[in-house]
Structure 1
Amino acid sequence: MRVTVHLFASLRELAGARELGLELPEGATVATAWERLAAEHPRLRELRGTILPSVNLEFAEPGRPLREGDEVAFLPPVSGGAGMFEITEKELYADPLIERMRRDTHGAVCAFVGVVRETSPLGMKVTYLEYDAYKEMAERKMRQIGDEIRSRWKLEEVAIVHRVGRLAIGETSVVIVVASPHRRDAFEACHYAIERLKQIVPIWKKEVGEHGEVWLEGEGQGREELRWPRRRR
């Protein structure tokens, strides 16, 4: 089968092309495509741990099977090295983010993966969840969380990505990845990040199931002085 591979920035320069066609055997995966590419362009191998793959405009795990005509892209880290903070409607996969955050200087990479469960906190059966967000503000607040944990713990990489839209049972809603030379810093920072995300990031969740549907209120944005007072009945 034949797939098209897109390369950007440093990857494009190392391979000498922005777009390449690859002939792959049936059953080939994203990892197969990368290994074939690296065999033809050996200098790409040193960047393997930093890239994020996608297939047909969706982030993809290295083990994802490929089909005839697929569009594969290998994405190098974005400029700045300040972490990755994103609201997305695309499916989330933890492994590509973990690989992207890993460096030889890290002693620990800690990941939190939030998954849609089939029962509500009250034990009701859930059909699906729907997430909404104020995207621009949410991403800014995620960066704030990144700054906060960097000021408290010795970290080298931080990623917070949250999905919005309709999510089925078992799908991933949020991935947080923290990398540090030390495991304690990584664990504590990751725990802080998810708790802080619930407090200050403008993301809302609607639960739909056998009990009907309801927008769930969390801990709030942590600024009670900015809220309108509740009316007395």
Structure 2
Amino acid sequence: MKLTIQLFAGIAERLGTSLLEYEYSESTLTAAHLKESLALAYPEAASQIRTSFLAVNQQYAPADTIIETGDELALIPPVSGGDGTGDSDTEHRSSPSEHRTQDGLYMITKSPLSVEATTALVITANHGAALTFVGTTREMTGEQRTVHLEYEAYVPMALSQMAAIGSEISERWPGVRCAISHRIGQVDVAEISVVIAVSSPHRSDCYDASRYAIERLKQTVPIWKKEIWEDGSEWKGHQLGPWNPMEN
């Protein structure tokens, strides 16, 4: 079985490629077996591979998922989600550097973000409350100075996961509307990396839904950030304990 596996962030950097061609000799292959086989084949990245999740056709795959010829595969290392459903559900708008879901509520772009534009997506006549969270690049973490951040995304899956967050919010807080915009590429100090806007008939749901959205974003959306310092750099992933994007 010949497989093509997309790589991101630290794994891609360690192996020197973003697209791995791999041949598996046995007829039946599960997600867990593929990960372990890759870890043995590439010992220099084994620890990163084992802490990653496999995405199959842009969905996080349980360990017993059967891999089929022609599946779209990606290794997803722990995500960062902008700390500070598929291609058919996305549109490439005026610029190839901007990607949105068809409803326009979820966007990934290389261009600077507009707080006002994202907030306007959730303002409706029947909602009396709107709340916007803005994440920016922080310069100092302790005594370490960040020069800028670099964000990378598995764009189609990231958009579908953003939309899934919106659906989860609608189920938990009926009537709440959500929009998320995230920037990729270089984001300088004090520039905006993510904007999350929510609106609802009453303010209490706004506070709860906004907090839920940013925490889920950091848990499930395949976006990674690389901190660039004056004397080095490092990919930053999930920093809230063991990472499991399939937990809810």
TM-score (norm 2): 0.55
2:199 corresponding residue in structure 1: 179
Aligned partner letter, 1:148? E
User: Alignment partner for residue 207 of structure 1, among 227, 234, 241?
Assistant: 227
Q: Deviations over 1:43-64 (max 9, x none)?
A: xxxxxxxxxxxxx96xxxxxxx
Task: Report the number of matched residues.
Answer: 147
Report the equivalent of 2:159: 139
Q: Which residue of 2 aligns with 1:168?
A: 188
**What letter corresponds to residue 134 of structure 1 in structure 2?**
Y
Name the CA distance, whole Å, in 2 between partners of 1:103 and 1:97: 13
State yes or no: 1:111 paired with 2:152: no
Q: Which amino acid aligns with 2:192?
A: T
CA offset at residue 221 of structure 1?
4.5
Q: Distance in 1 between matches of 2:150 and 2:191?
A: 12
Structure 1 residue aligned with 2:174: 154
State percent identity of aligned pairs. Answer: 42
Matches within 5 A, 1:1-233: 84-120=105-141, 122-219=142-239, 220-223=243-246
**Cα deviations across residues 67-122 of structure 1 (Å, max 9, x unaligned)?**
xxxxxxxxxxx975xx61121111101012222321221111011000111113x4
Q: Which residue of 2 aligns with 1:74?
A: none
1:89 partner amino acid: K
Q: CA deviation at 1:222?
A: 2.3
1:155 and 1:211 map into 2 onto residues whose CA distance is 48
Q: Secondary structure at the match of 2:197?
A: strand
The one-letter code matched in structure 2 to 1:157 is R
The one-letter amino acid of 1:141's match is Q
Contact 2:105 2:121 in 1 (8 A): no
- Quote the Cα distance in structure 1 between the aligned partners of 2:209 and 2:143: 30
Which protein is bigger by CA-based radius of gyration? 1
Q: Which structure has more RCO (C-alpha within 8 Å, separation ≥ 6)? A: 2
Amino acid at match of 1:133: A
State how far apart, in whole Å, the 2-side matches of 1:159 and 1:181 are. Answer: 16
TM (norm. structure 1) is: 0.58
2:160 partner SS: helix
Give structure 1 stretches of 5+ with no counterpart. Answer: 1-55, 58-77, 225-233
SS of match in other structure, 2:127: coil
Partner of 1:231: none
Q: Which moved more, 1:210-219 or 1:181-190?
A: 210-219
Instruction: Report what 2:98 is aligned to.
Output: none
The question of whether the paired residues in 1 share the 8 Å contact of 2:129 and 2:202 is answered with yes
**Unpaired runs of at least 5, structure 2:** 1-93, 96-100
